[in-house]
């Protein structure tokens, strides 16, 4: 079967790829295998620098992906808030290795934009509001990733039906839609709303390349949209996870002491670091690729889990998404032709 035809947008033209899809950077999930498979299929993919325990291991992973892709573009996600202990070190590695694009999250991207632009790379910034999107545009961001309600991880509060056109009307840079997308029909809808591309996370957890346990992948396939809840107990910022008995037991809110420490200007930085470390450990134990699961299951996922019915190779996911997208766009054109 031939590959789906290319679909040009501002995103694909910027980075020279066929399809306006980014396999989003996911903690514990995205690695050399997943990123390489998606990119070879004609789309884009990114990986969090913190998926590797040391800067040296992260640099080795970047070089491995570069060697596999032979110049094709891929990205890295950097957590840029003050609680991230490796932000500056990992940024320098990205610059030295000339990573084609960087996605910033949870903080000011000012230094990332400055440094990556020095080496000719692009910077995309996660945003959930117009106010922040305007700030990163003014700082020189090359695009924003509009993280809306329904996303996995740190989801935004606004419906994608509102957030995408709202940002598109007000910004001069490309807008990439994220949140609740797992099918080609949804990609077509996002493009019709004005998006220049889409970022999918949860759909790529349910792939053969994702380096997580089969239990995690099965949980994605089994989950309904109603099973996704927002918890503060991963990083102190609302994050979407699959509801399990363990999540019910520990609750979704921070305890009063943590709330105080996170608000106090003298303790905020260290409290965030402690909460992020504890949350990361919980995610790591539940998602480890050994296949062993315990009752302490903390699985990050978005509402699009309800639309995911199988575990497939990443390349097949990309091809399926694009075929569905082209079919949906064709149906939209037919609707216009059929009107009197």
pLDDT of residue 233: 56
Residue 275: pLDDT band by 50, 70, 90 thresholds? very low
Residue 185: pLDDT band by 50, 70, 90 thresholds? very high
Q: For 36-40, 92-96, 236-240, 329-333, which range has the lowest pLDDT when averaged over its residues?
A: 236-240
Over residues 294-301, mean pLDDT: 65
Residue 205 pLDDT exceeds 80: yes
pLDDT of residue 291: 43
Residue 270: pLDDT band by 50, 70, 90 thresholds? very low
Over residues 56-73, mean pLDDT: 97
At the topology level, CATH places domain 10-211+309-338 in TIM Barrel (3.20.20)
Give dist(CA 319, CA 298) in Å, integer: 30
Give dist(CA 180, CA 199) in Å, integer: 10
pLDDT of residue 146: 97
Q: Where are the domains of the chain?
A: 10-211+309-338, 221-304
Handedness of CA 224, 227, 232, 235 (dihedral sign): negative
Residue 292 pLDDT exceeds 80: no
Strands (DSSP E) contained in 94-173 are: 101-105, 122-127, 143-147
Tell me the average pLDDT of the chain: 87
Residue 138 pLDDT exceeds 90: yes
288 backbone dihedrals φ, ψ, rounded to 5°: -55, 140
Tally: H helices and E strands in the chain: 14, 10
- Give the position of tokens 């509009």: 146
Over residues 20-34, mean pLDDT: 94
Residue 46 pLDDT exceeds 80: yes
Q: Which helix (H) or strand (E) holds 287?
A: helix 268-287
Residue 255 pLDDT exceeds 90: no
Cα atoms in the 13 Å half-sphere on the side-chain side of 183 = 15
pLDDT of residue 254: 54
Strands (DSSP E) contained in 140-187 are: 143-147, 175-178
The residue among 336 and 270 whose pLDDT is bigger is 336
Helix orientation angle between 110-118 and 87-96, rounded to the nearest 10 degrees: 20
Mind listing the pLDDT tens digit for each residue in 311-334?
999 999 999 999 999 999 999 888
Residue 300: pLDDT band by 50, 70, 90 thresholds? confident
Over residues 136-140, mean pLDDT: 97
Strands (DSSP E) contained in 129-205 are: 143-147, 175-178, 197-200
Residue 151 pLDDT exceeds 70: yes
198 backbone dihedrals φ, ψ, rounded to 5°: -135, 150
């Amino acid at each position: 079967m031939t590959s789906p035809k290319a679909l040009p947008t501002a995103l694909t033209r910027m980075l020279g790829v066929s399809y306006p899809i980014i396999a989003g950077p996911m903690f514990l999930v995205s690695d050399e295998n997943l990123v390489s498979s998606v990119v070879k299929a004609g789309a884009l993919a990114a990986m969090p620098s913190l998926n590797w325990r040391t800067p040296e291991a992260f640099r080795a992973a970047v070089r491995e992906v570069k060697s596999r892709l032979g110049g094709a573009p891929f990205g890295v996600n950097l957590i840029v808030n003050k609680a991230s202990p490796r932000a500056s070190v990992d940024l320098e590695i990205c610059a030295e290795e000339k990573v084609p694009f960087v996605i910033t999250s949870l903080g000011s991207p000012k230094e990332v934009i400055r440094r990556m632009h020095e080496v000719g790379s692009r910077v995309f910034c996660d945003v959930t509001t117009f106010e922040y999107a305007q700030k990163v545009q003014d700082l020189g961001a090359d695009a924003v990733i509009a993280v809306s309600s329904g996303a996995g991880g740190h989801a935004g509060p606004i419906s994608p039906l509102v957030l995408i056109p709202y940002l598109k009307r007000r910004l001069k840079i490309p807008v990439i839609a994220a949140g609740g997308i797992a099918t080609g029909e949804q990609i077509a809808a996002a493009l019709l709303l004005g998006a220049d591309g889409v970022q999918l996370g949860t759909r790529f957890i349910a792939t053969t390349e994702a380096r997580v346990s089969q239990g995690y992948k099965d949980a994605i396939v089994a989950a309904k949209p109603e099973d996704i809840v927002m918890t503060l107990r991963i990083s102190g910022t609302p994050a979407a996870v699959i509801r399990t008995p363990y999540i019910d037991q520990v609750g979704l809110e921070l305890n009063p002491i943590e709330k105080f420490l996170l608000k106090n200007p003298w303790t905020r930085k260290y409290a965030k670091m402690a909460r992020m470390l504890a949350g990361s450990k919980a995610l790591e134990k539940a998602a480890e690729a050994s296949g062993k699961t315990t009752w302490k299951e903390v699985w990050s996922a978005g509402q699009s889990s309800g639309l995911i019915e199988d575990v497939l190779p990443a390349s097949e996911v990309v091809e399926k998404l694009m075929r569905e997208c082209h079919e949906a766009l064709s149906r939209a054109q037919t609707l216009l032709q059929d009107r009197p």
